[in-house]
């Protein structure tokens, strides 16, 4: 049940970001704990194995590229192929695939959170007087060891320019498929409910053992 709660939290987060540009969903892999071999205390003969439950072994982010859609907005950008946009946050340089940018009061290109978008040289990108930015002014960085940090941002080791290209007036769609994700949510809920029924059955059995069997 604890493992399914973790899955439901991740699935719920994915569903909430089904329309977030450049969002990457998380995937989890479950694994059972080691089994305990039961034996007869009188004869010493083996009875069989007893499973000790399921745990979340690994959580990974699916970094597959999402579909691109044309928006017509001059400050929307998408990375076609490999790579991330570099942005400067209060915690340092972070990376994102969300190219829904805007212009700051000072004329710089910023994210929806107000973080400066950086060019190939690591300097903030400036918006032209006509309200546009040349695609080549944005840096596209290749990363190793990509890790999600939150707010659609990632960390990782910068290994130079990426092979992806910048598409102006386009946005990368979310990597979440709402239909299949809802199916996963229903499957997780059923698994959780099955665990609840097992606990209820065990509780009823123990109650009978303490009352009916004890009275006999």
- pLDDT tens digits along 14-72: 999 999 999 999 888 777 666 667 777 778 777 777 666 777 778 889 999 999 999 99
Please state, in angstroms and rounded to a whole number, the distance separating the CA atoms of residues 159 and 128. Answer: 29
C-alpha of 38 from chain center:
39
Q: Does residue 54 contact residue 194 with C-beta atoms inside 8 Å?
A: no
CB burial string 72-111: b at 16+ within 10 A, e below: eebbbbbbeeebbbbbbbeeeebbbbbbbbebbeeebbbb
Average pLDDT, the chain: 90
Domain boundaries defined on the chain: 2-18+26-61+176-215, 68-172
pLDDT digits (tens, 9 = 90+) for 61-96: 999 999 999 999 999 999 999 999 999 999 999 999
Top mean-pLDDT range of 58-62, 183-187, 212-216: 183-187
Confidence band of 189 (pLDDT split at 50, 70, 90): very high
φ and ψ of 19, to 5 deg: -115, 10
pLDDT digits (tens, 9 = 90+) for 118-139: 999 899 999 999 999 999 999 9
Considering Cα of 9, then 11, then 12, then 16, what sign does the dihedral take?
positive
In the chain, % of residues over pLDDT 90? 69
**For the chain, what is the radius of gyration of the CA atoms?**
25
pTM equals: 0.78
Please state, in angstroms and rounded to a whole number, the distance separating the CA atoms of residues 24 and 61. Answer: 6
Paired with 144 in beta bridges are 157
- Whether the predicted pLDDT of 175 surpasses 70: yes
């Amino acid at each position: 049940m604890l493992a399914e709660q973790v899955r439901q939290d991740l699935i719920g987060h994915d569903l909430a970001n089904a329309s977030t540009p450049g969002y990457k969903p998380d995937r989890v892999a479950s694994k059972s704990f080691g089994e305990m071999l039961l034996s007869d205390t009188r004869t010493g003969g083996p009875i069989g194995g007893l499973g000790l439950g399921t745990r979340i072994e690994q959580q990974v982010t699916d970094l597959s590229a999402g579909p691109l859609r044309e928006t017509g907005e001059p400050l929307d950008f998408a990375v076609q192929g490999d790579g991330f946009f570099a942005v400067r946050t209060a915690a340092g340089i972070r990376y994102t695939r969300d190219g829904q940018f805007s212009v700051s009061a000072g004329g710089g290109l910023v994210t929806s959170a107000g973080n400066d978008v950086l060019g190939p040289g690591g300097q903030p990108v400036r918006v032209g007087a006509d309200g546009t930015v040349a695609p080549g002014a944005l840096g596209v960085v290749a990363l190793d060891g990509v890790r999600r940090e939150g707010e659609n941002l990632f960390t990782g080791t910068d290994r130079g320019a990426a092979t992806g290209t910048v598409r102006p007036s386009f946005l990368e769609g979310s990597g979440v498929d709402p239909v299949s994700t809802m199916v996963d949510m229903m499957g997780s809920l059923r698994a959780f409910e099955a665990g609840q029924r097992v606990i209820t059955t065990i509780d009823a059995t123990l109650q009978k053992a303490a009352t009916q069997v004890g009275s006999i």
